[in-house]
Structure 1
Amino acid sequence: MDYHISKTNFGETPDFEYPKALFLEEMGEERLVKLFSDFYDLIIDSDIGNFFPQEEEELEKIKAHNVKFFIEAAGGPKYYTEAVGHFDMLKTHEQFSITEKARREWLGTMEEVLRKVDISDEAKQSFWDFLETFSKHTVNVGERLELEDLVVNKG
């Protein structure tokens, strides 16, 4: 498994591929629901926990709602589309200031729960590759340049 995280070029919306059908076949809906439940249980205690409801009842609603999108993205039934309609990544996340650092925190938490899932590396890699690229669409705030980014090589 390669849990590589590439840098987002702010403002770009890169093309992505949905996970292979193999991912949902191996996971099944029930285990995918558990994966996202475990993910949200961890993310609320992370550096970006403020993006998510801290009240248990509200968090459970977010878990149930958001996993519908990922089941559908993985080739499952159209639960999300039937409940919500078209998904607009930018509009959904515009209420939050999501930086590259926040995206990496989100992905790091997902990696933590995904590592524990017992499915083939091919299926897992397919899902990871989807998340890694698709998550770039959530970044809506550019990062400040760090000092090392400003250093000019005078060769």
Structure 2
Amino acid sequence: MELTIKEYPFGERPEVTRPNRDFLKHLGESGIRKLVDDHYELLRESKFNPLFPQDKAEFEAAKLRSSDFFIQALGGPEYYNQNRGAPMLVKRHANFKITREARQVWMQCYQKLLPELKIPEDLIVSYWNYLDVFSSWMVNSED
């Protein structure tokens, strides 16, 4: 399975295609939460750790918000909307300097985790393709 990180010109907003909802059906909410937890733990070890809350409780809350978002994006309950309102992620991330390199590291963490999942490959690729485009929208700094 090839999970390639695509490069997009700065400021380009390619169309986001929702991932196959069967990804959630196979992993369940607990599986999505574990995936996000594992992802955040890898990010915590990266040089981009400062972009994430340093306080343990705030870090755990960030993981919860992220997993709520992905559960909702996969067709699950609207936990994110109920707790945070409409997902305006570009706006919510505007205060953080997110470079192409930061996106690369974010994606590389998923690149490591996704192949470990015991679910059909086509579901992993669908989720990967969603993450690849979705993450490009968060890049807000050229340097």
Q: Scaled by the length of structure 2, what TM-score is found?
A: 0.95
Aligned to 2:7: 7
Q: Deviations over 1:24-59 (max 9, x none)?
A: 111111111011111111111102111112232221
Q: Which moved more, 1:54-63 or 1:18-27?
A: 54-63
In the aligned structure 2, how far is the partner of 1:99 from the partner of 1:18?
24
Q: 5+ residue gaps in structure 1?
A: 144-155
2:104 counterpart residue number:
104
Task: Name the SS for the 1:83 alignment partner.
Answer: helix
Runs of 4+ in structure 1 displaced over 4 angstroms? none
Answer yes or no: is the 8 Å Cα contact 1:8–1:100 preserved in 2. Answer: no
What is the alpha-carbon distance in structure 2 between the residues aligned to residue 87 and residue 138 of structure 1?
13
Bigger Rg, which one: 1
Instruction: Tell me the percent identity.
Output: 35
Corresponding residue number in structure 2 for 1:147:
none
Aligned to 1:132: 132
| Equivalent in the alignment of 2:48 | 48
SS at match of 2:116: coil
- Alignment check: 8 A CA contact 1:19 1:126 kept: yes
What are the ranges of 5 or more consecutive residues in structure 2 without an aligned counterpart?
none
Tell me the TM-score normalized by structure 1. Answer: 0.88
Aligned length: 143
For residues 123 and 114 of structure 2, the distance between their equivalents in structure 1, rounded to whole angstroms, comes to 11
Aligned CA RMSD, in angstroms, stands at 1.1
Shift of 1:4: 0.7
